[in-house]
Amino acid sequence: VKQYPEYATVKMTDKEIKFAGMKTRIASTFLESGLFYSGFYTPLKYLGENRMVNAAEIIKLILRDESVHGTFIGYWFQKDYNNLTPSEQDELKDWAYDLLYELYSNEVEYISDLYSEIGWVDEVTVFTEYNMNKALMNLGFDPLFTDSTADKVNPLVMNGISTSSSNHDFFSTVGNSYLVGTVDAMQEGDYDID
């Protein structure tokens, strides 16, 4: 018969329990900073060609949101990762790269199925590798795909994933940026019409 308090103490300090949350953050960062983007390649490219503009603008907002998620989760991971021992860091980093290879292999198959008929497999793969590098950097790790840099990604698509806002027309409420109004307190003199 296990003594409950002793058993609970052992389980609470078990490395797998300790790593569980961190592994979840790694997987989430890979999803939100890397894997999520390849399926949006076509509308982002079409946006650069001035096609599907409204749909692509909505997708840009979604991608901006995912970019924030990936950055925050990666930062949260790094805070805990930096408190691990060097051997624990190595173990977790190895696990992360193993997961990345597995997810990347699956993603390349998906890209091939989705884009081979139109001849975009290579350019979408470079885009995916670029985004996986961003995911690794969000986690504080070195990029893996050293040949897949921003300058290798189709510039029309890179423009589409830019997180900057387009111009916002306050009066017609056209645009995709967030506006924060400024407020001035009313003064007695504001009512003097003379």
The confidence score (pLDDT) of residue 179 equals 47
The confidence score (pLDDT) of residue 89 equals 95
Query: For residue 40, is pLDDT > 80?
Result: yes
The confidence score (pLDDT) of residue 174 equals 45
Report, as an integer, the average pLDDT of 145-155: 87
Report, as an integer, the average pLDDT of 110-114: 92
Query: For residue 11, is pLDDT > 60?
Result: no
CA–CA dist 157, 42 (Å, integer): 9
Low-confidence winner among 22-31, 42-51, 56-65, 68-77 (lowest mean pLDDT)? 56-65
The top-level CATH class assigned to 4-163 is mainly alpha
Report, as an integer, the average pLDDT of 129-152: 91
What are the boundaries of each domain within the chain?
4-163
Query: For residue 95, is pLDDT > 90?
Result: yes
Q: What is the pTM of this model?
A: 0.74
The confidence score (pLDDT) of residue 144 equals 92
Report, as an integer, the average pLDDT of 46-66: 82
